[in-house]
Amino acid sequence: MKKLSYGSNVALICILLITNIAIGQVRNAPFKRGRQKAERDLVFIKTWHYVDTTQNTYGFNIYVQLSNDFLQFIYNDNEFRAHYEITLNIFNKDDNAVDGKIFTNFVTANNYDETNVRTIKHTKLFQFHLKPEKYEIFISINDFAGGKAYNESFNIKLPEITELALSPPLFFYKTHNDSTQHNLNPLLNPVRSENTPPMEARFLITTQCTDQPIQLFYSFISSRKDTTTRNSFVIAAPHNRQWFGITVPDTLSFGQHQLIIQATQGDNFVTINEQFLIRWAQHSHYLPDLTNAVQALMHIMKRKEYKHMLDQDDAAQQTILSKFWKDRDPTPSTAVNELENEYYKRIHFSNLHFSEWPKKDGWQTDRGRIYILHGAPTQIERSKSYSGNQRKFEIWHYQKNNRKFLFVDRYGTGSYSLYSEE
């Protein structure tokens, strides 16, 4: 067994990735997992609330979105058809059931290819009225044909209702000037490309006082916190309930951003702080924010090119990143770059399973790097315990390439270093 020597050969890595795409999808079993969860973009859940002044309660919305790739389609009577059910239950702090709904649906696909597309999505809106209190939400999604189930639970707290209130913002494409048409489907996963219209954040303002103006302040802060857009407005004659829209700056093109909204009316002051992600339409769904997407190329980009890219501003990095993957697209005639998608899918998997305390993402670890370059191993040997001079270890076996990698946890902290390969 020999010690590992570092280096990268982009051509070789591309071949490995392309030939291992199917392997990486089916050989995740050796890794221990907690509760099974759907992959990113297969299931998306978003909550939104506002003050309902007519009932002195909160209007509480839950959006559940599924992609075709989550569902199992059955071909019958000349069509592809899927059948699923969403069960939603709400419990208060005393563990008493407050409300719940069940939704069953059939969806069809025009052809087999559409059954595996994650960009075709199905959204269901559940609407409730809740009093100010703490709640726990339970959501269960069952795919009847495939026998697949997805379960999620989370807690929310609806504060006491105040004279002046702001709802969290919802995002829409700005295809008209009337921002009061809030019943249009919001962008649950905002996507921006050269062809998409401007984006707008809309929020609901409620007040019990209509004879005093409302001063609004807002700030957009970019993912790198180096670009901030600020502005303010005065609503001279407010209504008890009204929508307000603000345009999302074009400079916020890709990454995790922040919107801070503040409202003042007399002695009343409220603020909303919303984190939101804008994705690139032409890139993989697994692509993280720009900074991490760029940094993660260190495993396959030539060192000189990589260093040059790190020194560029956001716009230049986006251009370099796009060209890098476009030049390596195995099927340029299709909308999906399979190589890019597989690479960032492995980045995502590595971050879920190999991240190390305190702040080392999985893709930066030795196990993450080997997983990214070689895919999931055929078999993993693990030591049973840590005692005395016996260190915990893992041996990853790759039958396809007859490769073997030994990782050792030298200090019993769960941080595995690559010791040797053969």
359 and 308 share one domain: yes
pLDDT band at 9 (very low <50, low <70, confident <90, very high): very low
According to the model, what pLDDT value does residue 226 have? 67
Say which residue, 251 or 213, is predicted with more confidence: 213
107 and 230 share one domain: no
Tell me the pLDDT tens digit for each residue of 201-238.
999 999 999 999 999 999 999 877 766 889 999 999 99
371 and 310 share one domain: yes
140 and 152 share one domain: yes
Residue 313 domain-assigned (yes or no)? yes
Residues 55-61: what's their mean pLDDT?
A: 93
- Structurally, how many domains does the chain consist of? 3
Q: In which domain, by residue range, is 209 found?
A: 162-280
Of the three residues 161, 177, 211, the one that is the final residue of a domain is 161
Residue 5 domain-assigned (yes or no)? no
CA neighbours closer than 13 Å in the CB half-sphere of residue 177: 0
Of the three residues 128, 161, 194, the one that is the final residue of a domain is 161
399 and 378 share one domain: yes
Please give the angle made by the CA atoms of 147, 153 and 158, to the nearest 5 degrees: 145
pLDDT band at 13 (very low <50, low <70, confident <90, very high): low
According to the model, what pLDDT value does residue 220 have? 94
pTM: 0.75
Residue 2 domain-assigned (yes or no)? no
Residue 82 domain-assigned (yes or no)? yes
414 and 339 share one domain: yes
According to the model, what pLDDT value does residue 372 have? 95
According to the model, what pLDDT value does residue 281 have? 73
Contact (Cβ atoms closer than 8 angstroms) between residue 322 and residue 314: no
Residue 3 domain-assigned (yes or no)? no
146 and 243 share one domain: no
64 and 19 share one domain: no
pLDDT band at 8 (very low <50, low <70, confident <90, very high): very low
| Largest Cα span, the chain | 80
134 and 178 share one domain: no
Tell me the pLDDT tens digit for each residue of 132-149.
999 999 999 999 998 888
Tell me which residue has tokens 């005692």.
387
141 and 183 share one domain: no
Residue 4 domain-assigned (yes or no)? no
294 and 417 share one domain: yes
Amino acid at 146: G
Domain CATH code at residue 204: 2.70.50.30
Tell me the pLDDT tens digit for each residue of 66-107.
999 899 999 988 899 999 999 999 999 999 999 999 999 999
Residues 290-297: what's their mean pLDDT?
A: 88
Of the three residues 254, 280, 306, the one that is the final residue of a domain is 280
Residue 401 domain-assigned (yes or no)? yes
110 and 175 share one domain: no
Tell me the pLDDT tens digit for each residue of 380-409.
999 876 555 678 899 999 998 899 999 999
Residue 1 domain-assigned (yes or no)? no
Q: Is the pLDDT of residue 255 over 90?
A: no
Say which residue, 11 or 111, is predicted with more confidence: 111
Structure tokens at 197: 């219209």
